[in-house]
Amino acid sequence: MSQFENVSVATKANVYFDGKCVSHDITLPDGTRKSVGVILPSTLTFATGAPEIMELVEGECAVTLPGATEPTTYRGGESFSVPGDSSFDIEVRETLHYVCHFG
């Protein structure tokens, strides 16, 4: 989807990895929290607390999920799921615009 409607959005962003990843938290009318963000071309390891679904709006990356031995390529329009309390390696090849769904 190209936009979320009727949400609240935090004016202060989350800045990770020296700005390689910037996101803003949003809250849906039913109280569900998500974030909308960007990851610049880089190779990073993200840790999860809650399980996450990363919905890719645009861009391309190679992701190595927990237990995987090979990376899988994902592009805009695709999603991948990450278990809670884990981590994943991501190589962003084209600037990634994403929505992160929690839980």
* Three-class DSSP category at 64: strand
Residue choice 3, 47, 49, 77 for contact with a copy of itself (CB under 8 A): 3
**CA neighbours closer than 13 Å in the CB half-sphere of residue 88:** 24
* Three-class DSSP category at 17: helix
- Closest contact distance (angstroms) between CB of 69 and a copy of itself is 31
Stretch in the footprint of a copy of itself (CB under 8 A) among 11-19, 45-53, 60-68, 82-90 = 11-19
Question: Which residues, 57 to 86, sit near a copy of itself by CB under 8 A?
Answer: 57-58
Contact 38, 23 (CB under 8 A): yes
Closest-CA residue to 36 (of 97, 92, 90, 95):
97
Q: Which residues are at the interface with a copy of itself (CB under 8 A)? A: 1-13, 15, 18-20, 22, 24, 26-27, 36-38, 40, 57-58, 95, 97, 99
